[in-house]
């Protein structure tokens, strides 16, 4: 029934050439595009959860030169002038807890309010702090001890770590049932929960060189 369901959107939405680059079957012999299906379902929904970097900010399919005109859900809603609340759960991939926790919150307490979300519509409970704020390698950063190659002790900033401008609770939550996480395994954070991923957060293993385009400033 219209207005009684929450639409969970996964995947980016190609918009170039009226969305023909992604289809979900046929109707009357004509392809049904993801774009048209999303717009129809979004119009009748109570709210939308955009799950993963592609559905939130366009992600890798929207990377330059983006030949399919791929967009995230919120951009398509704005383009179509559809006024439905959106909760963004970015990440490449998003942590399962971020999604399940958001659904559980809605079931227990109702829709998240603007106080529960940050300026990019991400739940603050999961995206409220920088990776850099909770990173166990932070003491190395503060004392200026940087790893010069993978496997070395030290902060991974010089190896391209994007933790200083990436919001997510990976250092506290960990992945794979709490076993480990990317920096714990010795690899820099790629910044995958930010809209600047992957065009500006890349090259992934090069030190950040364009701070002026990235928010927030290094704390």
Binding site for ligand SF4 (CB under 6 A): 131-132, 135, 137-138, 141, 155-157, 161, 163-164, 183, 189
What are the strands of the beta sheet with 86-89, ordered from one edge? 6-10, 47-51, 86-89
19 vs 163 by CB, closer to ligand SF4:
163
Q: Rounded to the nearest whole angstrom, what is the least distance from the CB of residue 177 to ligand SF4 in the complex?
A: 22
Q: Which is nearer to ligand SF4, 47 or 92 (CB)?
A: 92
> 10: which DSSP letter?
E
Query: What's the min distance (Å) between Cβ of 21 and ligand SF4?
Result: 36
Q: How far is CA 42 from the centre of its chain?
A: 20
- Nearer residue to ligand SF4 within complex by CB, 76 or 156: 156
Cβ distance to ligand SF4 smaller for residue 37 or 138: 138
Quickly list DSSP for 86-105.
Answer: EEEE--SSPPHHHHHHHHHH
Of 7 and 135, which CB lies nearer to ligand SF4 in the complex structure? Answer: 135
> Shortest distance, CB of residue 107 to ligand SF4, whole angstroms?
33
Alpha-carbon torsion (110, 80, 95, 4), positive or negative: positive
Residue 187 Cα to chain centre, angstroms? 19
| Identity of the residue, 105 or 174, whose beta carbon is nearer to ligand SF4 in the bound complex | 174
The DSSP-derived string for 101-164 is HHHHHHHHH-SPPGGGB-TTS-BHHHHSSBHHHH-TTHHHHHHT-B-SSTT-SSBSGGGT--GG
The least CB distance from residue 156 to ligand SF4, in Å, is 4
Provide, rounded to whole angstroms, the least separation between the CB of residue 101 and ligand SF4.
23
And the tokens for 17? 């050439």
For residue 198, the minimal CB distance to ligand SF4 (Å) is 17
CA 43 to chain centre: 23
């Amino acid at each position: 029934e219209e207005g009684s369901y929450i639409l969970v959107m996964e995947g980016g939405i190609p918009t170039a050439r009226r969305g023909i680059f992604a289809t979900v079957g046929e109707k009357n012999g004509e392809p049904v595009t993801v774009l048209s299906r999303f717009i129809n379902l979004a119009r009748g929904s109570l709210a939308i959860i955009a799950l993963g970097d592609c559905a939130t900010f366009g992600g890798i399919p929207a990377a330059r030169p983006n030949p399919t005109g791929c967009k995230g859900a919120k951009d398509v809603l704005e383009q179509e002038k559809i006024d439905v609340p959106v909760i963004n759960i970015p990440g490449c991939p998003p942590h399962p807890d971020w999604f399940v926790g958001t659904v559980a919150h809605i079931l227990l307490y109702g829709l998240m309010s603007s106080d529960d979300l940050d300026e990019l519509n991400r739940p603050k409970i999961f995206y409220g702090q920088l990776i850099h704020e909770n990173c166990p390698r932070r003491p190395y950063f503060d004392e200026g001890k940087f790893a010069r190659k993978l496997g070395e002790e030290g902060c991974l900033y010089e190896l391209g770590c994007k933790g200083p401008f990436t919001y997510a609770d990976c250092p506290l939550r960990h992945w794979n049932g709490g076993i480990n996480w990317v920096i714990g395994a010795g690899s820099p954070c790629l910044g995958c929960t930010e809209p600047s991923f992957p065009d500006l957060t890349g090259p992934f293993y090069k030190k950040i060189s364009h701070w002026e385009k990235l928010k927030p400033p290094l704390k």
